[in-house]
Structure 1
């Protein structure tokens, strides 16, 4: 058994680690709450612009001019652009590893050429380590606004509109709840508007909206804004997932450290008890020898 000095040193070391992970847990919890609020506040707008896009696309299906909107066109996929959203830092449990494994699995299934855009340092390092074609990398602040991410959306729109790529896929950690983050690979371009059945289209036509100058022009303006919004909201979800995963990881680390301290404390008490018992036996033996 280790000496009492060694045990005290180990208890002190593990206790200090528990203090650090406990502090990191509280910081992550604060950031998690803020990020989750941002996701909840942004979700209604993201959902609404998607609904509007679905309505316009349904009406455009009967308008030959509107069917020429570039970002809605589906063409043969010769090159795919993969956008990987990852944290800048680790200590987030299995989140980064899961993102990298899903990305590796996805690109293995791509038929044809592909390039990548990395959002976050972990993603940038992954692309460099695996030797993939890195088209661009972006870094966004811990509390992103739409202005911080709009350049990403515009680049995606430009790459697709210029036909340098034929498909854009975004891979990120979708926020479900504090304990669950789902790795999601979603197609951004070409845009797939929500489907409308014939009854819904009929109701839209009855409203008799006037589109100036045309449905096509409205879609040409709306779809890029839609892409920018979807990129922004996906990054918000990625941040909420990151801080949630880090908070849980630090909580588990703190709990494990405390359990280790408890075990070491029991070992220390046992070692002290054995030391005291040995000293008492020596004293009793010495007294008996003197009396004999």
Structure 2
């Protein structure tokens, strides 16, 4: 069906407006990802210090019996990181699918789910999974610490102050993959990795470590900071991935809009040329008719 000049002009204006919105969203995604990435790098340095402290503690004590009380936890907590922002594809559906698959492969324990984001909660509801609690994702990099603190508090409350003995904790989040893709990561947090409890392998300095705090208080503090840093890192990486995913989708959308704009511009030029040609022919025919 032939399109009129007016219709093509409106379509061109609409596509131009859409392209402006897409370009703005793409720019915002690139800008928003940077603070989260910086936060992830910063917490990595802090986490290395905490792990060094844990290595020193284990080396100094030669392996504490408190550290091995985690062999048979009675409960399992899944901390799943989703997104409450749109334009990031099937982000929440992928995380919800990972929760379902992980749960089906694990031994039957009393299961709890801590969900980050109401949209992820809706995705879990579709699989008949009901989260124990729903926390809001951070609106900025400054909110990651708040979220990590809330998660640690929830872990301690659920573990009755002895999360090592009563609770297995697993983090499920997304991280960046090659070529702008994303992948779902399932990372056990508690019980502690056995590699962290090997005194002969975890201390390389010739200076012998020592401490003055009560052993249980120091151990509790080290583990709490390890959990906090791990949760903080997972949250920051999830936010970086969300923005990276949105950026990739906006780039695809921008390319698609550009292709449509080119096609409309060609049609517009063709219709304009036809109208000009018709007007010239009318003038010529009118002039010839007067002769």
Q: TM-score, normalised by structure 2?
A: 0.82
Shift of residue 175 of structure 1? Answer: 4.7
- The equivalences for 1:127-276 within 5 A come to 127-139=124-136, 140-143=138-141, 144-160=143-159, 161=162, 166-175=167-176, 179-192=180-193, 194-195=195-196, 200=201, 203=204, 207-213=207-213, 215-276=215-276
Distance apart, 1:59 and its partner CA: 5.1
Q: CA deviation at 1:237?
A: 1.5
Contact 1:77 1:167 in 2 (8 A): yes
Deviation of the 1:231 alpha carbon: 0.9
SS for the counterpart of 2:132 is strand
The answer to whether the aligner puts 1:73 opposite 2:69 as a matched pair is yes
Deviations along 1:65-84, whole A, 9 cap, x unmatched? x2224xx5333365422111
Please report how far the alpha carbon of residue 36 of structure 1 lies from its aligned counterpart in structure 2 after TM superposition. Answer: 1.6
Higher mean displacement: 276-285 or 48-57: 276-285
Of the structure 1 ranges 189-198 and 112-121, higher mean CA displacement relative to structure 2 is found in 189-198
Please provide the CA RMSD for this pair: 3.1
CA shift for structure 1 position 218? 2.1
Q: Once the 2 structures are TM-superposed, how far is the Cα of residue 271 of structure 1 from its aligned partner?
A: 2.0
Structure 2 residue 54 is the aligned partner of structure 1 residue 53: yes
What TM-score, normalized by structure 1, do the two folds share?
0.82
Alpha-carbon contact 1:39-1:237 (below 8 Å) kept:
yes
| Counterpart-to-counterpart distance in 2, 1:101 and 1:181 | 14
* Alpha-carbon distance, 1:117 to partner: 0.8
Aligned residues: 285
What SS class does the counterpart of residue 238 from structure 2 fall into? Answer: helix
Where structure 1 has 5 or more consecutive residues not aligned to the other structure, the ranges are none
Distance (Å, rounded) in 2 between the aligned partners of 1:162 and 1:40: 27
Which whole-Å CA distance do the structure 2 matches of 1:254 and 1:19 have between them? Answer: 9
Asked if the contact 1:174–1:241 (Cα under 8 Å) also holds between the matched residues in 2, the reply is yes
Question: Does residue 1:119 correspond to 2:116, yes or no?
Answer: yes
Report the alpha carbon displacement of residue 280 of structure 1 after superposing the two structures with TM. 4.4
What SS does the corresponding residue of 2:193 show, helix, strand or coil?
A: coil
Rounded Cα–Cα distance in structure 2 between residues aligned with 1:203 and 1:40: 24
Give 3-state SS (helix, strand or coil) of 1:134's partner: coil
Residue 108 of structure 1 pairs with residue 104 of structure 2: yes
Shift of 1:23: 1.6
